[in-house]
Amino acid sequence: MKIEFTSIGIIHTPFKEPDDMPIQPAGARGVKGTVMVFEEFQPGLQDLDGFSHIILLYCFHRSRGYKLQVVPFMDSKQHGIFATRAPKRPNPLGLSIVRLDRVVKGVLNVRNVDMLDNTPLLDIKPYVPQFDVQTDGVRTGWLEKITKTAAQQKADDRFL
């Protein structure tokens, strides 16, 4: 089935190239961005300002093609694409939970951005810990073998 989406806005960030930028919001703490929602979709922003965090769904618009097995940023071993957050995916969809500072008309001021400048926005959802945080038997597969410090270091290295 072919599915077509229309972007509902554009995400602006300080990052112009995919290299040398954070690989997750956790490695982008404090980095500010702006989400510009197109006028026709702005009524949908009503009451969003009550949320401290939002989930941005977007298109990795600078990704070309995909690989079903990749060596992700945080490891030196190969893994299936669906066990990673790597951007070269069959459907190049990105997901980031960012801090929402302000909503002024169609402009959202956000923090902790890990996407490229001019990334097409597909959807916004409120981050709700009661729905989104899992506590029961959480496992994180191959990432468990990477120490937190090493993973953070790698994220930091990419950010610097």
Ligand X SMILES: C[S@@+](CC[C@H](N)C(=O)[O-])C[C@H]1O[C@@H](n2cnc3c(N)ncnc32)[C@H](O)[C@@H]1O
Interface ranges with ligand X (CB under 6 A): 18, 21-24, 60-63, 73, 85-87, 94-96, 114-116, 119
Cα–Cα distance for residue pair 4/15, rounded to 1 Å: 27
Cα–Cα distance for residue pair 89/7, rounded to 1 Å: 18
> Least CB distance from residue 96 to ligand X, whole Å?
4
Q: Which is nearer to ligand X, 17 or 47 (CB)?
A: 17
Residue 33: φ, ψ to 5°: -145, 170
> Least CB distance from residue 116 to ligand X, whole Å?
4
Q: Which residues of 87-108 are buried (b: 16+ CB within 10 A; e: fewer)?
A: bebeebebebbbbbeebeebeb
Q: Which is nearer to ligand X, 106 or 114 (CB)?
A: 114
Q: Which is nearer to ligand X, 46 or 76 (CB)?
A: 76
Sequence-distant (6+) residues with CB within 8 A of 39 are 106
Q: Which is nearer to ligand X, 50 or 148 (CB)?
A: 148
> Least CB distance from residue 46 to ligand X, whole Å?
26
